[in-house]
Chains A and B, each alone.
Chain A
Amino acid sequence: MALDVAAGRAGRPAAARRPRVGVVKLASCDGCQLTILDLEDHLLDLTERFEFVEFAEATSRRSSGPFDILFVEGSISTPEQAAEIVRLRAAATTLVAIGACATAGGIQALRTAAEHEAFRSAVYPVPAYVESLATATPISAHVTVDAELRGCPIDPGQLLELLTAVTTGRRPQLPDQAVCVECKRRGIPCVIVARDLPCLGPVTRTGCGAICPSFGRGCYGCFGPREGANVEELAGDLRSRGGRTDAEVGRLFAGFTGATPEFRGVTDRLGGRPLLPLAPATAHVAGEHDTTPPAWRPDDARQ
């Protein structure tokens, strides 16, 4: 991972203007940008150190750039977003993709072109009113990404580490170890060995602090596959233990980072892909030309 902000700005005097920071979202749940607002103890200090020039969820002041640092949450899921990310990239010195949607496509990336029409018709009675791309894709599929914070959601500690690294002009320390290493460090008994629970910890990058094993369940892969993860061996092991079906093991990999090549490979082989056909949408349809605003009472005529 390259972090250009450190290299690119090393020569700048420390007392110069505050870095201009943008926070934008694409297709996502808002949880990763909310993690910034959840840094309650640090938030007001951070706003003195960084100038948040664009953060629609938090401020009515808007900016289309330029940004020294731009945090992008969400995947690319519509034609507008595919165009917008190119513009945003050009406006940003350092672009940081935050969260599973931005770095891996998110849960919505489980749909492929094969499922797209069925998905649309299952939710919307008139799919033509709604625009979306056949697939949802991570930011890196469209533009160069300078740094990534993984997770669903991102980890507040990793976010602070990245911001600190940017401020002091060094590379952020974001370890690429398995969740297993974190369990060992914290003394959490292995949930695969001790309780025969399905767990993606051996192939998933740590960052969360092994939350799921510490809460008595298996890891479900929020931070995505770590480098060189042996997913096939784990998938085989999970199948042979506990009498799980292929599809059950496949579905375990079809989570919030399930569109990564490593995890998708397992699901494609074992099953667990979205099931077709889907029941059609049940919502009513408003008349296309019915643009009269709703009224609280039927006799509230406004003309």
Chain B
Amino acid sequence: MHGSDLRFQVHNLTRVEGEGSLHLLVRDGAVAEARLEIFEAPRYFEALVVGRSPDEVLDIVARICGICPVAYQMSAVHAFEDLFGVEVEPATHALRRLLYCGEWIESHALHIYLLHAPDFLGYPSAVDMARDHRELVAGGLRLKQAGNRIVATLGGRAIHPVSVRVGGWSKLPRRADLLALRPALEEALELARATVHTVAELPAPPFEREPRLVALHHPQEYPMNRGRIASSDGLALAPQAWGEAFHEVQVPWSNALQSRGADGLPYLLGPAARVVLDHEQLHPLAREALAETGALESIRRNPYRSIVARAVELVHATAEALDIIAAYEPPDAPAVAWESRAGTAAWATEAPRGLLFHRYAVGDDGLVAAATIVPPTAQNQAAIEADVATFAPRVLDQPMDVATHTLEQLIRSYDPCISCATHFLDLSVERQPQEDAS
């Protein structure tokens, strides 16, 4: 038979963290190949942490990602504390949530205002958007700054904070340090609530599908540092047991290992999965904001609506940060004592982009002997490919630049962090009709 092949090549995806491309082959109107090609240079972190002590690992794994270093420190520190049987102070648990709130706010505000909103409003960047909507962008930057200030207050700097240690902290904040954050966070909470309404009004392409969603779930708290690994089809796994339901796969076209469920199928992580699976645990103000949008079902089904989920989590994180600050009483000591124990340390926490799993083999010498780190974007690669394959046929009759933009916007809706996954996204388009040889 004779057919025509269309090849889309989206080189160097922009407004994502890291370097990647999208390759799409459409044969006779059907998607024959959809490959997210991640060519971010490998840095071999799983090898670099071998021979290191747990506290050294906390410093090293932060460098996997400049946008979400706290997430890497959180998964690692909880893995080690779980293996060593360390019970941290309740205040440490609360402060770690506060630190994570700071990172979620910084990361989500960055994505909503600087990376993603320009897509919906038709600008190439937030800077261009600011010419017409300066107050909107300036408000987004103040939100982002409020998140950064939390991280810097607890950890010394906004990127690669230094204070998280096994057992607690190298230094605790004083009450006054946290109270100083309040005015900025109170403004941020109002900005976040307004953000929910703004992004809920943004027009989303009418793409719907039934994804498998995976996120941590905890009956008493919106998931960050603890809970079971839950899914839209009823999974309930201990956070150490990621490997029982999922596995990593190397594909020839990506420097980032992918992940699949035990059945070989993709699954989706991130704000949309969390909001759908854990909306009952949202802060009352976030639950209220979500209810006002009536967007829960569209967040579940339409990937372009993830921006609403991200905004709802901005409300949650700013509101919870204020609650934690109000309740904070410094414990007697920054950290509890601990002793190393040989064995397997494993844990999962919720990074801004979704579930982040770490596993370390710890030897009798107290040093790491082997490591597996499974970032959320690496796990989301197959979901992105599945969505591109599902939606691409519907835009192929449109002009190439429109089709390309729609698909690029789709990929950006996952907030892919390619530096995490190894790291890159690049989008250019090649249309190459050709005779099928067969």
Convert B21-57 into 0s and 1s, putting 1 for each residue whose CB lies closer than 8 angstroms to a CB of A.
Answer: 0000000001111110001111110111011110010
In chain B, positions 116-152 with a C-beta closer than 8 Å to chain A are: 118, 124-128, 130, 134, 137-138, 141-142, 144-145, 148
Asked if A38 and B263 sit within 8 Å, CB to CB, the answer is no
Give the chain B neighbours of A303 by CB distance below 8 A: 30
Asked if A283 and B35 sit within 8 Å, CB to CB, the answer is no
Convert A48-88 into 0s and 1s, putting 1 for each residue whose CB lies closer than 8 angstroms to a CB of B.
Answer: 00001001111111100000000000100110110000000
Give the chain B neighbours of A300 by CB distance below 8 A: 390
Once A59-B125, A283-B248 are accepted as A-B contacts, the answer to whether A152 and B46 lie under 8 Å apart by CB is: no
Bound CA span A163–B210, Å: 49
Asked if A27 and B43 sit within 8 Å, CB to CB, the answer is yes
Give the chain A neighbours of B386 by CB distance below 8 A: 293-296
Give the chain B neighbours of A120 by CB distance below 8 A: 42, 44
Return the contact of A106 from the options B35, B63, B158, B249 (Cβ within 8 A): B63
Asked if B265 and A296 sit within 8 Å, CB to CB, the answer is yes
Return the contact of A108 from the options B34, B48, B265 (Cβ within 8 A): B48
Asked if A278 and B18 sit within 8 Å, CB to CB, the answer is no
Asked if A286 and B251 sit within 8 Å, CB to CB, the answer is yes
In chain B, positions 148-170 with a C-beta closer than 8 Å to chain A are: 148, 155-160, 162-163, 165, 170
Once A59-B15, A208-B157, A283-B248 are accepted as A-B contacts, the answer to whether A296 and B390 lie under 8 Å apart by CB is: yes
Q: Say yes or no for A111: interface residue by CB 8 A criterion.
A: yes
Asked if A282 and B248 sit within 8 Å, CB to CB, the answer is yes
Once A28-B419, A40-B141 are accepted as A-B contacts, the answer to whether A123 and B212 lie under 8 Å apart by CB is: no
Bound CA span A302–B165, Å: 50
Q: Say yes or no for A6: interface residue by CB 8 A criterion.
A: no
Q: Say yes or no for A173: interface residue by CB 8 A criterion.
A: no
Give the chain A neighbours of B127 by CB distance below 8 A: 44, 47, 52, 58-59
Return the contact of B248 from the options A29, A78, A284 (Cβ within 8 A): A284
Give the chain A neighbours of B383 by CB distance below 8 A: 294
Q: Say yes or no for B372: interface residue by CB 8 A criterion.
A: yes
| Stretch from B65-73, B85-93, B214-222, B304-312 contacting the other chain | B65-73
Give the chain B neighbours of A297 by CB distance below 8 A: 210, 265
* Nearest-Cβ distance from residue A243 to partner chain B, whole angstroms: 15
Asked if A217 and B44 sit within 8 Å, CB to CB, the answer is no
Return the contact of B48 from the options A124, A214, A274 (Cβ within 8 A): A274
* Nearest-Cβ distance from residue A241 to partner chain B, whole angstroms: 18
Asked if A29 and B64 sit within 8 Å, CB to CB, the answer is yes
Convert A272-295 into 0s and 1s, putting 1 for each residue whose CB lies closer than 8 angstroms to a CB of B.
Answer: 101100110111111010011111
* Nearest-Cβ distance from residue B220 to partner chain A, whole angstroms: 30
Bound CA span A136–B51, Å: 20
Once A31-B69, A283-B248 are accepted as A-B contacts, the answer to whether A296 and B210 lie under 8 Å apart by CB is: yes
Asked if A302 and B255 sit within 8 Å, CB to CB, the answer is no
- Of all chain A residues, which has the CB nearest B387? A296
Asked if A285 and B47 sit within 8 Å, CB to CB, the answer is no
Bound CA span A37–B130, Å: 14
Bound CA span A133–B19, Å: 18
Asked if B16 and A57 sit within 8 Å, CB to CB, the answer is yes
Asked if B48 and A107 sit within 8 Å, CB to CB, the answer is yes
Asked if A44 and B138 sit within 8 Å, CB to CB, the answer is yes
Bound CA span A129–B118, Å: 35
Asked if B126 and A58 sit within 8 Å, CB to CB, the answer is yes
Return the contact of B250 from the options A215, A256, A284 (Cβ within 8 A): A284
Once A58-B126, A153-B66, A294-B389 are accepted as A-B contacts, the answer to whether A283 and B265 lie under 8 Å apart by CB is: no
Give the chain A neighbours of B130 by CB distance below 8 A: 44, 47
Asked if A291 and B255 sit within 8 Å, CB to CB, the answer is no
Return the contact of A56 from the options B12, B34, B60 (Cβ within 8 A): B12
Asked if B50 and A275 sit within 8 Å, CB to CB, the answer is yes
Give the chain B neighbours of A255 by CB distance below 8 A: 59
Bound CA span A152–B118, Å: 30
Give the chain B neighbours of A285 by CB distance below 8 A: 249-250
Q: Say yes or no for B388: interface residue by CB 8 A criterion.
A: yes
Bound CA span A295–B211, Å: 10
Q: Say yes or no for A13: interface residue by CB 8 A criterion.
A: no
The count of residues in chain B whose C-beta lies closer than 8 Å to any C-beta of chain A is 100
Q: Say yes or no for B257: interface residue by CB 8 A criterion.
A: yes
* Nearest-Cβ distance from residue B435 to partner chain A, whole angstroms: 19
* Nearest-Cβ distance from residue B50 to partner chain A, whole angstroms: 5
- Of all chain A residues, which has the CB nearest B18? A30
Once A106-B63, A108-B48, A216-B170 are accepted as A-B contacts, the answer to whether A62 and B12 lie under 8 Å apart by CB is: yes
Return the contact of A302 from the options B63, B125, B252, B389 (Cβ within 8 A): B389
- Of all chain B residues, which has the CB nearest A81? B41
Give the chain A neighbours of B66 by CB distance below 8 A: 28-34, 153
Give the chain A neighbours of B59 by CB distance below 8 A: 220, 255
* Nearest-Cβ distance from residue A247 to partner chain B, whole angstroms: 8
Give the chain B neighbours of A56 by CB distance below 8 A: 12, 14-15, 19, 426
Q: Say yes or no for B287: interface residue by CB 8 A criterion.
A: no
Q: Say yes or no for B95: interface residue by CB 8 A criterion.
A: no
Q: Say yes or no for A211: interface residue by CB 8 A criterion.
A: yes
Bound CA span A61–B127, Å: 11
Asked if A58 and B32 sit within 8 Å, CB to CB, the answer is no
Asked if A119 and B15 sit within 8 Å, CB to CB, the answer is no
Asked if A38 and B42 sit within 8 Å, CB to CB, the answer is no
Asked if A294 and B14 sit within 8 Å, CB to CB, the answer is no
In chain B, positions 366-415 with a C-beta closer than 8 Å to chain A are: 367, 369-370, 372, 382-383, 385-386, 388-390, 393, 408
Give the chain A neighbours of B46 by CB distance below 8 A: 122-123
In chain A, positions 121-162 with a C-beta closer than 8 Å to chain B are: 122-126, 129-130, 132, 136, 152-153
- Of all chain B residues, which has the CB nearest A28? B419
Once A29-B64, A38-B148 are accepted as A-B contacts, the answer to whether A294 and B265 lie under 8 Å apart by CB is: yes
Q: Say yes or no for A246: interface residue by CB 8 A criterion.
A: no
- Of all chain A residues, which has the CB nearest B267? A296
Asked if A217 and B63 sit within 8 Å, CB to CB, the answer is no
Extra A-B contacts (6), CB below 8 Å, given A47-B130, A123-B42, A129-B251: A40-B141, A108-B48, A216-B163, A251-B52, A300-B390, A302-B390
Can you spell out 9 A-B residue pairs with CB atoms less than 8 angstroms apart? A30-B417, A38-B159, A41-B145, A43-B141, A78-B41, A110-B48, A123-B42, A129-B250, A220-B59
Chain B residues in contact with chain A, CB under 8 A?
12, 14-19, 30-35, 39-44, 46-48, 50-53, 56, 59-60, 63-67, 69, 110, 114-115, 118, 124-128, 130, 134, 137-138, 141-142, 144-145, 148, 155-160, 162-163, 165, 170-171, 209-212, 247-252, 255, 257-258, 260, 263, 265-266, 334, 361, 367, 369-370, 372, 382-383, 385-386, 388-390, 393, 408, 417, 419, 423, 426
Lowest 8 A-B CB distances belong to which pairs?
A: A31-B66, A59-B125, A275-B51, A293-B389, A283-B248, A27-B41, A293-B34, A216-B171
